[in-house]
């Protein structure tokens, strides 16, 4: 059973399509306390929630505790994207995903973060492996979601569904990059 950490609709659609085509049952977990301001958070969440509902996919709504996220990246505010702030950001989101997976009997986790070409696959894989370390029954699936034509499908599904497509990664420190 797969618990898929999901950051937004544009990054999730092609992955959900691929999972469906490959008969992989999935539950979505929206846990992204990095997103600022709150209006942006609600907009991204609402878009994905609507899409999941239309597809009949279970959607778990994580807490939005931006202060906790700010604590986790304190001192790294000026780091560039793909720098050490992003690694801490991934670790927080994926550890919480692994924790939830363990509690609810999911045997593996993955993340839609890995579909974005702006992010470091190495950082995501490292954060994912770190996240599952305390949970021997949960495995991190480090699939490269940019291969198998998924990047092209991402672009097509974004247009077809007219998704809201954000112009920055998520946190306030990425807004002017």
Q: Taking CB under 6 A as the rule, does residue 96 contact ligand SF4?
A: no
State which of residues 27, 34, 96, 116 lies at the interface with ligand SF4 (CB under 6 A): 34
> Phi-psi region for residue 23, left (φ > 0), alpha (ψ -120 to 50) or beta?
left
Residue labelled with tokens 């793909």:
82
Indicate the residue among 18 and 168 with the shorter CB distance to ligand SF4.
Answer: 168
| The pair of three-digit structure tokens given for residue 42, joined into one six-digit string | 């609600």
Applying CB under 6 A, among 81, 126, 151, 158 the residue interacting with ligand SF4 is: 81
Q: Taking the complex as a whole, how short is the minimal distance between the CB of residue 98 and ligand SF4, in angstroms? A: 18
Q: Cβ neighbours of residue 67 under 8 Å, at least 6 residues apart? A: none
10 Å CB burial of residue 160 (0-12, 13-18, 19+) is exposed
Exactly one of 4, 8, 89, 114 binds ligand SF4 (CB under 6 A); that residue is 89
Stretch that binds ligand SF4, among 8-16, 56-64, 85-93, 159-167 (CB under 6 A): 85-93
Q: Could you tell me which stretch among 15-23, 50-58, 80-88, 103-111 binds ligand SF4 (CB under 6 A)? A: 80-88
Select the residue interacting with ligand SF4 from 6, 57, 110, 169 (CB under 6 A).
Answer: 169
Angle 120-26-56 from CA coordinates, rounded to 5°: 120
92 binds ligand SF4 (CB under 6 A): no
How many amino acids of this chain bind ligand SF4 (CB under 6 A)? 10
Binding status of residue 86 toward ligand SF4 by CB under 6 A:
yes
Part in contact with ligand SF4 (CB under 6 A); list of ranges 13-21, 60-68, 154-162, 166-174: 166-174
Question: What does the alpha-carbon distance between residue 34 and residue 32 come to, in Å, rounded to a whole number?
Answer: 5
Instruction: Provide CB contacts within 8 A for 119, sequence distance 6+.
Output: 82, 86, 113, 169
Tell me phi and psi for residue 108, to 5 degrees.
Answer: -150, 155
Q: What are the residues binding ligand SF4 (CB under 6 A)? A: 34, 81, 85-86, 89, 169-171, 173-174
């Amino acid at each position: 059973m797969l618990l898929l950490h999901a950051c937004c609709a544009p990054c999730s659609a092609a992955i959900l399509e691929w999972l469906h085509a490959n008969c992989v049952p999935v539950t979505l977990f929206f846990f992204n306390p990095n997103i600022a301001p709150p209006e942006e958070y609600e907009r991204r969440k609402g878009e994905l929630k609507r899409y999941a509902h239309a597809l009949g996919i279970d959607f778990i709504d994580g807490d939005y505790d931006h202060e906790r996220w700010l604590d986790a990246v304190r001192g790294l505010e000026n780091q560039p994207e793909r720098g050490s702030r992003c690694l801490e950001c991934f670790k927080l989101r994926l550890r919480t995903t692994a924790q939830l997976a363990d509690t609810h009997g999911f045997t593996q986790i993955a993340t839609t973060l890995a579909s974005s070409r702006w992010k470091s696959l190495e950082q995501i894989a490292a954060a994912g492996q770190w996240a599952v370390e305390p949970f021997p029954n949960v495995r991190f699936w480090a699939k490269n979601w940019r291969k198998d034509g998924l990047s092209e499908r991402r672009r097509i599904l974004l247009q077809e569904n007219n998704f809201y497509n954000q112009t920055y990664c998520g946190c306030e420190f990425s807004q002017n990059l």
